[in-house]
Amino acid sequence: MPLRQKKRMSALQALAMYSGGSMSVPVTKFSLRMYGSKKAVEQEQKRQQSEGSYVIHPYSNFRFYWDFFTLILLLISMLIIPVAITFFNDEMRTDRGWIAFNLALDFWFLTDIIMNFHTGIIVEYGDGDVILDLPTIRSHYLRSWFAVDLISTLPVDYLLQLTSGSSASASAASRAMKLVRFAKIISLLRLLRISRLIRYVHQWEQIVGMQYDLAVAAVRIFNQDSKSDEMAKEI
């Protein structure tokens, strides 16, 4: 029994180590440019660890791949939803495959909301500074985009359709038809996901912009060093 517990503990520790590593800022060319040295990157990793194991660094590999996949799903969602609202009839909208696809998207974006409550905030015009304090992260998200993200994620249209299909009288059938039409309008709320798309693109622009600024600064320093060497040689 103790041996089994040891094996379980070692497996859990390995999983925690893997998660922690992928959710913290990695030592890459970008992070070395951002923080200046490997030691500074390691200090940032320690700062994240001190804030707790549930904080995700916005420059981490995990968040990069999560955002990338979310961006693809957002683009698919923005393309398909207007087509479905315009051209799909009631039979196509109530197809199990279509409902499963929409609910899968809703589940992913609901998980993204949870991730946003745990992801550090990049300070705008802060030279790459990141807020990692969990209460501050949650408070900021609640006061900013939480309501929009939640409204665009909840499957209100399917809940209405589920309610409309619960009774079988003639008056209930006409009421059900009205609810189905109303659900079609409610599904437009999913288009509010465009706000996420804009935010992700803006965040990536920030990161690319910081990379560009750092590259320009490095070139300027290199040019100044080469000029000072030339002047020293002339002297």
pTM of the model: 0.71
Residue with token string 């998980």: 111
C-alpha to C-alpha distance for 168 and 154, rounded to whole angstroms = 26
C-alpha to C-alpha distance for 164 and 87, rounded to whole angstroms = 22
Backbone phi and psi for residue 122, each to the nearest 5 degrees, phi listed first: -80, 120
Q: At what angle do helices 170-186 and 156-164 cross, to 10 degrees?
A: 170
pLDDT tens-place string over residues 37-69: 899 899 998 998 888 878 999 989 898 899 889
Q: How confident is the model at residue 202 (pLDDT cuts 50, 70, 90)?
A: confident
The rounded percent of the chain whose pLDDT value lies above 70 is: 64
Q: How confident is the model at residue 235 (pLDDT cuts 50, 70, 90)?
A: low
Residue-level length of the chain = 235
Residue 171 CB neighbour total at 10 angstroms: 8
Residue with token string 């996420």: 196
pLDDT tens-place string over residues 143-164: 999 998 998 898 877 777 676 5
Phi-psi domain of 65 (left: phi exceeds 0; alpha: psi -120 through 50; beta: other): alpha
Half-sphere CA count of 82, side-chain side, radius 13 A:
9
How far does the chain reach from its first CA to its final CA, in angstroms? 79
What are the boundaries of each domain within the chain? 27-217
The pLDDT of residue 12 is: 34
